[in-house]
Structure 1
Amino acid sequence: MTVTASPVWQSLPALMYHSVSAVAGPMGDLAVPPERLAEQLHALTAAGYRLVGLTEALDLLEQGCTDRLIAVTFDDGYRDFLTAAVPVLTSAGAGATLYASVGHLGRHADWLGRWAPDFGRLLTWDELAEVADAGIEIGNHSLVHHPLDVLPAAQLREETVRSKDELEQRLGRRVRGFAYPHGYNGARVRAAVLAAGHDNATEVGRRLHTPGERRFAVPRLQPTPDLTGEQLVRLVAGGGPSLVPRLKQVAQPGWRVVRRVARATGRNLT
């Protein structure tokens, strides 16, 4: 590791994976088969990138590290992370952060609706402990996997505080990172995540993280199962198209109002 007196980094690519499996149909982009994951990660390391978890990446950049870092993250906590992702990460010499949906552990990902069985069940607490023992950073993905920005204050606090407490008590480790379910956040949600004791958080974003941006809304790029290793190297180098992320940022306040109204009628829009 090369360290300088002050940060000189220009951007941090962060990757957002979910299941490490093969899933057909409309939800297929949330699953990358282990052989494709291996191809992607090995291509990145061959291109000179150092693959670490998100909190470690942020810490290293603050310390002035000049290595070409990529933060590797996985959302939700599917069982295939233990059986398929950990061996691939080990083979590639890569670190990672896994964000666990605490209230769903040991069950299916109910928020995926009728497609949930296609992804298999989530890790149990014992399996999550195995993942942590393998050197993977465990982050918080809230208590229940639903949008946080439409919740009342008391429920928002429960979602962010209780989930962190349970992770730390069960695993015996400090939990520093948070991933917003479905990526939705806002000033109120970010403040709640900070108040709960986290020191960084990540959204979807679909662009590179740059200096001066919020540490509590780190954007990520999503590798898909059809993306080759070579294509992923090009994606992290270029950051992907910038128009769609900007349009989504502009539209988010209005979409939040629509979702808040829908929630009042008993529906969760994501």
Structure 2
Amino acid sequence: MTSLVCANLSPIPILVYHQIDVAPPKGAPFRSLYVAPAAFARQMRFLSVLGYRGLSMSALLPYVRGEKQGKVVGITFDDGYVNNLQHALPVLQAQGFSSTCYAVSQRLGQTNVWDAEVGVSPTPLMDAAQLRQWVAGGQEVGAHTRHHVNLKACDEALALEEISLSKKELSTLTGRVIEAFSYPYGWLLEKHTEMVKLAGFKSATTTVRGRVRAGLDLLQLPRVPVVHSTTLPVFWLKLATGYEDRRAA
């Protein structure tokens, strides 16, 4: 287990977003995963007003380890949608924030085909050039496997390939060392954490709700979901109180 070094760490939230775009009509599958661009901009401005610095996972790790101190929050995006580049990047840059976008290395320039079976409309994913634009804009790319697989349904060889090759492929495409990983669907077994460690990742995030606290595994970090219905008062509760910690699941 790779435990947090800082034994007296104050809780640090890592926000997780998916799509930054106008939500589909009510009743659409996964509508909650859309955050309107205007709402996202308000949330980022709110962070600034509260004195938070929004950071990518690589920039956040020294704070998580206790090597640095400050009022910080991690900002992450799962899947690598084009709308993150279009709507989130300018807002992040305006606030001087960095973030991590977890991309699916063999689906670049395609759509979220893994959601098709539940009726989600296809949404464009960033291609290699757009990912490089994301990086050039001061943001980080992390890995989200090669095909957005359910690791629990993969045999060991396939799971290791999905994890390790996604790192190599994204590194080649971006020209950057890929250090952050996110488990698709948040589904994992302990052996997958070992594979992530073996592949050389420095951090990995799950869908377990809560803020980062002392003693947690750097390769099984919880996050704070921000969804379509998240109002600013609830956003503050998620950031600054035990609201999400009590919902760890």
Give the 3-state SS of the residue equivalent to 2:106 in structure 1: helix
Q: Which residue of 2 aligns with 1:116?
A: 121
Q: Which residue of 1 aligns with 2:206?
A: 203
Give the 3-state SS of the residue equivalent to 2:214 in structure 1: coil
Alignment partners' CA distance in 2, 1:71 and 1:144: 25
Unaligned runs of 5+ in 2: 1-5
Alignment partners' CA distance in 2, 1:131 and 1:45: 21
Q: 1:83 to 1:69 in 2, by over 3 A?
A: same
TM-superposed deviation, 1:106: 0.7
Q: Counterpart amino acid of 1:32?
A: V
* 1:146-200 per-position Cα deviation (integer Å, ceiling 9, x unaligned): 2112311110111011111111111111000000000011210000111111111
Q: Which residue of 1 aligns with 2:10?
A: 10
Q: What's the % identity of the aligned pairs?
A: 28
Q: Which residue of 2 aligns with 1:218?
A: 221
Task: Give me the TM-score of the superposition, normalised by structure 1.
Answer: 0.84
Q: Which residue of 1 aligns with 2:20?
A: 20
Task: Name whichever structure is richer in helix by fraction.
Answer: 1
CA RMSD of aligned residues (A): 1.6
Aligned length: 239
Match of 2:48 among 45, 51, 61: 45
Q: Which residue of 2 aligns with 1:262?
A: none
Alignment partners' CA distance in 1, 2:218 and 2:145: 18
Give the 3-state SS of the residue equivalent to 1:143 in structure 2: coil
Which range moved further: 22-31 or 34-43?
22-31
TM-superposed deviation, 1:23: 2.0
Q: Which structure 1 residue ranges, 4+ long, deviate > 3 Å from structure 2?
A: 241-244
Q: Counterpart amino acid of 2:40?
A: L
Greater relative CO, 1 or 2 (CA 8 Å, sep 6+):
2
Check the 8 A contact 2:210/2:246 in 1, yes or no. Answer: no
Q: Counterpart amino acid of 2:204?
A: A
Task: Give me the TM-score of the superposition, normalised by structure 2.
Answer: 0.91
Check the 8 A contact 2:209/2:225 in 1, yes or no. Answer: yes
Match of 1:106 among 88, 106, 109: 109
Unaligned runs of 5+ in 1: 1-5, 249-270
TM-superposed deviation, 1:63: 4.8
Alignment partners' CA distance in 1, 2:239 and 2:233: 10
